[in-house]
Amino acid sequence: MMTNITLGQYYPVDSPVHRLDPRVKIVLTLALIVCVFLAHSLIGYALIFAFIFFTARLAKIPFKTVLKGIKPLRFILILTFVLNLFFSTAGNDLIRIGSVRITDQGLRQSVHYSLRLLFLVMGTSLMTLTTSPIMLSDGMELLLSPLKKLHFPAHELAMMMSIALRFIPTLMEEADKIMKAQMARGADFETGNLLARAKAMVPLLVPLFVSAFRRAGDLAMAMESRCYHGGEGRTRLRTLKLTKQDTVACLLVAGLLLLIILEGMLLPKGWLL
């Protein structure tokens, strides 16, 4: 029984950050990303780190959980660091052993790139940790809705997202059941080489697809019978309203952005890296 699956990374607690309007969170995350790319020195990065750290605090999310988002990317991070460190040739040598050189600019670049990547991941996971997937898709729909005039299917995408979220637990339960049923007929999903295992998936995947298509057909009919006809003229039960907290959040991020810009202008390049 897999009835208690949490979807995505969402960390379900109640906090001021969780309560922010998803539109605001998406925009502010973008702003944070801009900050990350504008930062010039370790001071800038320290500011960004402090911001992320305190936001996580405010969101009642253990910092460890935020760091978990980095785990799948750790090889890329290391790779970014190592490649930049050893393969940039500009600048003055710091260390030179045979043909291997590490330059000051190489070190600077590798630190910059890895930190950027690090904060990028932490910033976006902060958003997905504090925003449920359905709110996220709502926020995206509303932010993208001006593009509807250009025939961009904002409503359709959001509806698809919502239906996918609705049916993922159902299909996972079903997959579990089909798997057991095939095991009862002697199917083996666990042993054998890669090819054998891939072949063993057929008795699981075919019924799962058949069922997904059947469900899709049924659902389409049920939606039509409840007068669904696309996004036109639709009203919503769940409406998003900007609150004071959203304004405060915007001001805070605007402040951070300002500081980062000032840091870039005031501090001499290369100061503290």
Partner 1 sequence: MSLELKHVTYTYSAGSAFQATALDDISLTIEDGEFVALVGHTGCGKSTLVQHLNGLLKPTSGQVLLDGQDINGEGINRRELRQKVGLVFQYPEYQLFEETVAKDIAFGPKNQGLSADEVDRRVRRAMEHVHLNYDKLVERSPFELSGGQMRRVAIAGVLAMEPKVLVLDEPTAGLDPRGRDRILGMVRELHREGTTVVMVSHSMEDVASLATRMVVLSHGRLATQGAPREVFKQRELMAEAGLDIPEAAKLCQALIARGVPLPEDLYLQDELREHLAQLWKEARA
Partner 2 sequence: MASSELLSVEQVSYAYEDNPSPALKHIDMKVKPGEFVAVLGHNGSGKSTLAKLLNALYLPTEGRVFVCGMDTADEDRLWDIRSRAGMIFQNPDNQIVATIVREDVAFGLENLGVPHDEMVRRVDQALETVNMTKHAESAPHMLSGGQKQRVAIAGILAMEPSCIIADEATAMLDPKGRRQVLTTVQRLNRESGITVVWITHYMEEAVQADRVIVVSDGEIVLQGKPREIFSQVERMRELHLDVPRMTSLAHELRGDGMPLSEGILTVDEMAEEVSRLLCPSN
Q: In sequence order, which ranges of 71-153 are alpha helices (DSSP H)?
A: 74-87, 104-130, 133-144
237 vs 265, beta carbon nearer partner 2: 237
| Backbone angle region of 151, left / alpha / beta, with phi > 0 → left and psi within -120 to 50 → alpha | left
215 binds, among partner 2, partner 1, none (CB under 5 to 8 A by kind): partner 2
Smallest distance, partner 2 to C-beta of residue 138, A: 11
The SS3 of residue 1 is coil
76 forms part of the interface with partner 1 (CB under 8 A): no
162 contacts partner 2 (rule: CB under 8 A): yes
> Counting every residue, how long is the chain?
273
Considering only 15-23, 81-89, 151-159, 180-188, which stretch makes contact with partner 1 by CB under 8 A?
A: 180-188
Residues in 158-177 that interact with partner 1 by CB under 8 A: 174, 177
Residue (of 247, 265, 248, 250) closest to 44 by Cα position:
265
Least distance in Å: CB of 128 to partner 2?
16
Distance CA 111, CA 42 (A): 9
Hey, which residues does 97 pair with through a beta bridge?
100
148 part of the interface to partner 2, by CB under 8 A: no
Distance in Å, CB of 213 to partner 1, minimum:
10
Complex with partner 1: residue 57 or 180, whichever CB lies closer: 180
In the list partner 2, partner 1, none, the entry touching 74 (Cβ below 5 to 8 angstroms by class) is none
Residue 34 and residue 257 in contact, taking contact as beta carbons nearer than 8 Å: yes
- Which contacts (CB < 8 Å, 24+ apart) does range 160-168 have? 161/133, 161/134, 161/137, 162/134, 162/137, 163/219, 165/7, 165/133, 165/134, 165/137, 167/212, 167/215, 168/5, 168/7
Beta strand pairing call for 93-97 and 100-103:
antiparallel
Beta-carbon contacts of 52 under 8 Å, excluding residues fewer than 6 positions away, are 32, 66, 119, 122, 123, 126
Q: Which is nearer to partner 1, 65 or 124 (CB)?
A: 65
Residue 191 touching partner 2 (CB under 8 A): no
Q: Give min distance, CB of 253 to partner 2, in A.
A: 29
Closest contact distance (angstroms) between CB of 171 and partner 1 is: 12
In angstroms, the CA 224 to CA 236 distance is 17
CA dist 273 and 266 (Å) reads 15
Using the minimum distance from each CB to partner 1, give the nearer residue, 2 or 100: 2
- Minimum CB separation from partner 2 for residue 219, in Å? 5
Binding residue (CB under 8 A) for partner 2 from 57, 93, 234, 271: 234
11 counts as binding partner 1 under rule CB under 8 A: no
Question: Which x/- pattern over 210-229 shows residues binding partner 1 (rule: CB under 8 A)?
Answer: xx------------------
Stretch that binds partner 1, among 131-139, 185-193, 218-226, 254-262 (CB under 8 A): 185-193
Q: Tell me which of partner 2, partner 1, none is bound by residue 100, counting a contact when its beta carbon lies within the kind-specific cut-off of 5 to 8 angstroms.
A: none
Alpha carbon 222 to its chain's center:
32
